[in-house]
Structure 1
Amino acid sequence: MTHNQAIAFDMLPGTITAYLTAHRDRVIAAQLGLFAADATVVDEGHTHAGSSAIAAWMSHSASAYTYTITPIAAEQSGEGEGDYSVTQHLAGDFPGGTVDLRFRFTLRDGLIQRLVIEP
């Protein structure tokens, strides 16, 4: 059974806060530098594995729509020391106009090993 504990945003690891800032500001190089070379990202049902695929996903995501991002909750998962999730509210010109997305991070050696983005 997984136990998630709400935490303050300032209690998130620096890697995650740096990613969230770079993602909000759409700075692809800064985001990419926070991922392990063999990392995976799962978004919209698609898995992007490795630096090249993740860079292509970031480039597409940054240019597809215009939106604002507001973090609304953070949790540390009981699954492991490096497991965190951040729920963010997005509002913009994408279908539906607003959505709350959960960004589930798994860290390894201070880098993002896996990121799953889902409603």
Structure 2
Amino acid sequence: MTAEQRPPVRGYAKPVVVPERLDSLTGPTTGIVVLPRHLKWSGNSRYDLDQPGRIADLYRTVLNEAATSDDLSRYLDRATLLDLWSSMWLPVALRGKWEDRFPELRHRRYDPAA
């Protein structure tokens, strides 16, 4: 389903930032990452990517809060995003914009019937 076919989604007022190319995502995949306040404005902004589940938490936060494509390229990694995509809960509008730009993400969705 394309963006034109999808019914309008309410409740997600923040603009969705999507990079021009997935190859521009070259962020860390191990170690400690501390997000700046504009990406993680409350709670613990420190992510130990070597701890189970923390990289998915970081990706969800960055995808939801990114203000620029630089935020995406600095903190996300292409291969890791592709691996995590099907298991992450994301707002419908955000997921739709990313999948419209990058159809290969759409094919990575979890299908319980498969």
**TM-score w.r.t. structure 2 length?**
0.26
Tell me: higher relative CO, structure 1 or 2? Use CA pairs within 8 A at least 6 residues apart.
Answer: 2
- Of Structure 1 and Structure 2, the greater strand share is in 1
- Of Structure 1 and Structure 2, the greater helix share is in 2
**TM-score w.r.t. structure 1 length?**
0.25
